A and B are shown apart, each in its own frame.
Chain A
């Protein structure tokens, strides 16, 4: 089984809808991240969490919110989806004790907002 899982893998939604992307991990890592990937722009950090009570905005947090329900779960919400949020979204984890630079990525969620 995959160590970092994301659900759903693909989602098509309409403008204005609320949508939640979920991430779960079995690696026992304390740190979790949400990124979005757009062609030609690489990965951009949306939110990150160093533990359950520590959540921080990344470089592109506007229009998104997150919840760290447990050490193993970190969800990303789009309160009112808009077309320019169409992208590939990745969750990642890392272990503070092993150097947070080695991040383990989930398989991604492809989100299309029409």
Chain B
């Protein structure tokens, strides 16, 4: 079945560092791909999306490019802030109209 694999956390960075969180997927078709973010004590919220190959999703300084050839959707940000500390989930949306989530990566940014 379809699945999503994320880099294991936790990830700890200093403020203004460059961030990459790796995400790869397995899917039988051409899924849409997403990053969701969970801030402490809250539910998940959609951060960005890409619906077809080579699309780049972006929001709040975060970016991710849908790479069909490497089945990847890595999350990047050029300069992280303390407020970016959260758990990040990569997800795909499959034909059965359901989201499939990765295991989540906890990010901590130190001032």
Q: List the A side residues contacting B97 at CB < 8 Å.
A: 50, 100
- Number of A-B residue pairs, CB cutoff 8 Å, is 49
Please, which residue of chain A has its CB at the minimum distance from the CB of B8? Answer: A40
The answer to whether A45 and B89 have CB atoms under 8 Å apart is no
Most buried by A among B34, B41, B43, B99: B43
Please measure, in the bound complex, the distance between the C-alpha atom of A100 and the C-alpha atom of B46, giving whole angstroms: 12
Binds B, one of A11-19, A64-72, A73-81, A104-112: A104-112
8 contacts between A and B (CB under 8 A): A43-B44, A44-B101, A90-B43, A92-B43, A100-B97, A101-B32, A106-B43, A107-B41
The answer to whether B44 and A101 have CB atoms under 8 Å apart is no
- Distance between A7 CB and nearest chain B CB, rounded to angstroms: 14
Q: Does A61 contact B (CB under 8 A)?
A: no
The answer to whether B98 and A45 have CB atoms under 8 Å apart is yes
The tally of residues in B whose CB lies under 8 Å from a CB in A reads: 20
The answer to whether B43 and A4 have CB atoms under 8 Å apart is yes
Contacts A100-B97, A101-B32, A101-B34; A43 near B89 (Cβ below 8 A): yes
Q: Mark B12-35, 1 if CB is under 8 A from A, else 0.
A: 000000000000000000001010
Please, which residue of chain A has its CB at the minimum distance from the CB of B44? Answer: A105
